[in-house]
Structure 1
Amino acid sequence: MTESPYSQEAEEAVIGAVLINPHSFLTVAAFLRPEDFFFLRHAHIWEAMTRLHERKEPIDPVTLAEELSTMGKLDDVGGAPYFTHLIANTPTSVHAEIYGRIVERTAIRRRLIVAADEIKALASDENQPIEHVTTSAETVLFQVTDRNLKREFVTMKDAVNDYFDRIENLIQHQQESMGLPSGFRDLDQLLGGFQKSDLLIFAGRPGMGKCVTGDTILQLPDRYATIESLKPRHALGIPDDDGGIYYPLECDVLTPQGFKPTAYFYESGLRPTLRITTQAGFTLAGTYHHPILTSDSLGQFAWKTLAELTLDDYAVVVEHGSDYTTSRITAIQDNGWQYCYDLTVPDGQAFIANHIINHNTSFMLSTAVNVARIGARVAIFTMEMGADQLVQRIMAMETGISSHKLRLGRLSPQQYDRFVEAAGRVSRYQIFIDDTPALNPIQMRTKCRRLQHEYGIDLVFVDYLQLMNAGGQYQNNRVQEISYISRALKELARELNVPVFSAAQLSRAVEQRQDKRPVLSDLRESGSIEQDADIVMFLYRDAIYNEATEFPNQADVIVAKHRNGPTGVISLFFNEELTKFQDAVTRQVDLGDR
Structure 2
Amino acid sequence: MNEAARRLVPIAKDQAEAQYREAPNNLEAEQALLGAILVNNDAFYRVSDFLKPVHLNEPLHRKIFEVAGDIIRMGKTANPVTIKTFLKADEKVGDMTVAQYLARLASEAVSIINAEDYGRAIYDLALRRSLITIGEDMVNIAYDAPLDMPPQSQIEDAERRLFELAETGRYDGGFQSFNDAVALAIDMAGQAFERDGSLSGVSTGIHSLDARMGGLQRSDLIVLAGRPGMGKTSLATNIAYNIAASYEGEVQADGSMKAKNGGVVGFYSLEMSSEQLATRIISEQTEVSSSKIRRGDISEHDFEKLVACSQHMQKVPLYIDQTGGISIAQLSARARRLKRQRGLDCLVVDYIQLMTGSGKSSDNRVQEITQITTGLKALGKELNVPIIALSQLSRQVESREDKRPQLSDLRESGSIEQDADVVLFVFREEYYVKNMEPRDEFDPKYEEWKMQFEKVKGTADVIIAKQRHGPTGTVKLAFQSEFTRFTDLADPSFTQYEH
Q: TM-score, normalised by structure 2?
A: 0.64
Partner SS for 2:204: coil
Q: What does residue 369 of structure 1 align with?
A: 241
Q: CA deviation at 1:201?
A: 1.5
Q: Does 2:85 align with 1:64? A: no
Give 1:115's match in structure 2, choosing from 130, 134, 139: 134
Indicate the residue corresponding to 2:220 in structure 1. Answer: 198
In the TM superposition, residue 61 of structure 1 has moved relative to its aligned partner by: 8.2
Counterpart among 474, 479, 483 of residue 578 in structure 1: 483
Worse-matched range after superposition: 159-168 or 430-439: 159-168
Q: For residue 479 of structure 1, report the CA deviation from its aligned partner.
A: 4.0
Deviates more, 1:423-432 or 1:142-151: 142-151
SS of equivalent to 1:154: helix
**Amino acid of the structure 1 residue aligned with 2:474:** V
What amino acid sits opposite 2:436 in the alignment? A
Counterpart residue type for residue 215 of structure 2: G
Whole-Å separation in 1 of the counterparts to 2:178 and 2:427? 43
- For 1:160 and 1:108, locate their aligned partners in 2 and report how far apart those are by CA, in whole Å: 27
In structure 2, distance between residues paired with 1:107 and 1:414 = 60
The code of the aligned residue for 1:572 comes to L
Correspondence for 1:6 = 25
> Equivalences for 1:190-589 in 2 at 5 Å?
190-205=212-227, 361-375=233-247, 376-377=262-263, 378-441=265-328, 443-472=330-359, 475=362, 478-546=365-433, 547-548=435-436, 550=453, 551-586=456-491
Structure 2 partner of 1:147: 172
Amino acid at match of 2:172: R
User: CA–CA distance in 2 between the matches of 1:393 and 1:370?
Assistant: 13
Contact kept in structure 1, 2:192 and 2:198, CA below 8 Å:
no
Paired with 1:541 and 1:183, the residues of 2 have a C-alpha distance of 20
CA distance in 2, matches of 1:164, 1:420: 41
Flag the 1:59–1:413 CA change in 2: closer, same or farther, 3 A.
closer
Give the letter aligned to residue 582 of structure 1: T
Distance in 1 (CA, whole Å) between partners of 2:27 and 2:56 is 12
User: Partner of 2:402: helix, strand, or coil?
Assistant: coil
Aligned partners of 2:181 and 2:23: how far apart in 1?
41
The alpha-carbon deviation at position 539 of structure 1 amounts to 1.0
Q: Is the 8 A contact 1:32 1:100 kept in 2?
A: no
Distance between the aligned counterparts of 2:321 and 2:481, measured in 1? Answer: 25
Change (3 A) 1:112 1:584: same
Conserved? CA contact 1:470–1:481, under 8 Å: yes
Query: 1:239: which partner in 2?
Result: none
Matched, 1:134 2:155: yes
Change (3 A) 1:515 1:454: same
| CA–CA separation in structure 2 for the residues paired with 1:15 and 1:193 | 42
Aligned mates of 2:191, 2:466 — CA distance in 1: 24
1:128-177 deviation digits (Å, cap 9, x = unpaired)? 8664453243245357543379643238986896687578769xx8x665
Shift of 1:365: 0.4
Q: 1:16 to 1:155 in 2, by over 3 A?
A: closer
More helix by proportion, 1 or 2?
Answer: 2
Give the root-mean-square deviation of aligned CA atoms. Answer: 5.0
Q: Residues of 2 paired with 1:410 and 1:123: CA distance?
A: 59
Q: Output the amino acid matched with 1:432.
A: Y
The alignment partner of 2:266 has SS state of strand
Q: Distance in 2 between matches of 1:385 and 1:122?
A: 39
Q: Give secondary structure in 1 for the equivalent of 2:404.
A: coil
Please state how far the C-alpha of 1:518 moved relative to its aligned partner.
0.7
> Is 1:17–1:92's contact at 8 Å kept on the other side of the alignment?
yes
Residue 344 of structure 1 aligns with which residue? none
Aligned to 1:331: none
Alpha carbons of structure 1 residues 105 and 436: separation in structure 2 relative to 1, 3 Å: farther
Query: Residues 14-163 of structure 1 correspond to what in structure 2 (within 5 A)?
Result: 31-33=52-54, 37=57, 63-65=90-92, 91-92=108-109, 102-116=121-135, 131-132=152-153, 134-141=155-162, 145-147=170-172, 151-154=176-179
Q: What amino acid maps onto 2:216 in structure 1?
A: F
In the alignment, the residues of structure 1 paired with residue 294 and residue 205 of structure 2 have an alpha-carbon distance, to the nearest angstrom, of 27
Aligned 8 A contact 1:16 1:83 in 2: no
Asked if the contact 2:53–2:62 (Cα under 8 Å) also holds between the matched residues in 1, the reply is no
> Take 1:584 and 1:422, find their aligned partners in 2: how far apart are those partners?
24
Q: Which runs of 5+ in 2 are unaligned?
A: 1-17, 68-82, 248-261, 438-452, 495-499
Q: What does the per-residue CA deviation read over 1:330-358, in whole Å, with 9 as the maximum and x for residues that have no partner?
A: xxxxxxxxxxxxxxxxxxxxxxxxxxxxx
Q: Distance in 1 between matches of 2:101 and 2:203?
A: 59
Deviation at 1:477, TM superposition (A): 5.2
What letter is aligned with 1:137? Answer: A
Matched residue type, 1:561 = K
- Once the 2 structures are TM-superposed, how far is the Cα of residue 109 of structure 1 from its aligned partner? 1.2
| Contact 2:30/2:61 (8 A) holds in 1 | no
Deviation of 1:512 after TM superposition, in Å, equals 3.2
Partner amino acid, structure 2, of 1:564 = H
Shift of 1:571: 2.7
Asked if structure 2 preserves the Cα contact closer than 8 Å seen for 1:203 and 1:503, the reply is: yes
Q: Which protein has the bigger strand share?
A: 1
**2:255 alignment partner in structure 1:** none
Contact 2:88 2:98 in 1 (8 A): no
SS in 1 for 2:479: strand
Tell me which moved more, 558-567 or 134-143.
Answer: 134-143
Q: CA deviation at 1:431?
A: 1.2
Contact 1:48 1:64 in 2 (8 A): no
Q: What's the CA shift for 1:433?
A: 1.9
| TM superposition shift of 1:427 | 1.5
- Note the alpha carbon deviations across 1:180-203, whole angstroms, 9 max, x for none: 332334323333333344332110
Inter-partner Cα distance in structure 2 for 1:469 and 1:575: 33
Give the aligned partner of residue 271 of structure 1: none
- The two structures have a TM-score, normalised by structure 1, of 0.55
- Is the 8 Å Cα contact of residues 36 and 115 (structure 2) preserved in structure 1? no
CA distance in 1 between partners of 2:110 and 2:375 (Å): 41
- Preserved CA contact (<8 Å) 1:558 1:570: yes
SS of the residue aligned with 2:476?
Answer: strand
Distance 2:487 2:97 in 1: 76
Q: What are the ranges of 5 or more consecutive residues in structure 1 without an aligned counterpart?
A: 66-76, 209-360, 590-594
1:482 and 1:528 in contact (8 A); partners too: yes
2:172 aligned counterpart, secondary structure:
helix
Matched residue pairs, number?
410
- Alpha carbons of 1:114 and 1:413: their partners in 2 closer, same or farther (altered >3 Å)? same
Query: What is the one-letter code of the residue matched to 1:146?
Result: Y
Question: How far apart in 1 are the matches of 2:212 and 2:30?
Answer: 54
Please report how far the alpha carbon of residue 89 of structure 1 lies from its aligned counterpart in structure 2 after TM superposition: 7.8
CA distance in 1, matches of 2:345, 2:191: 18
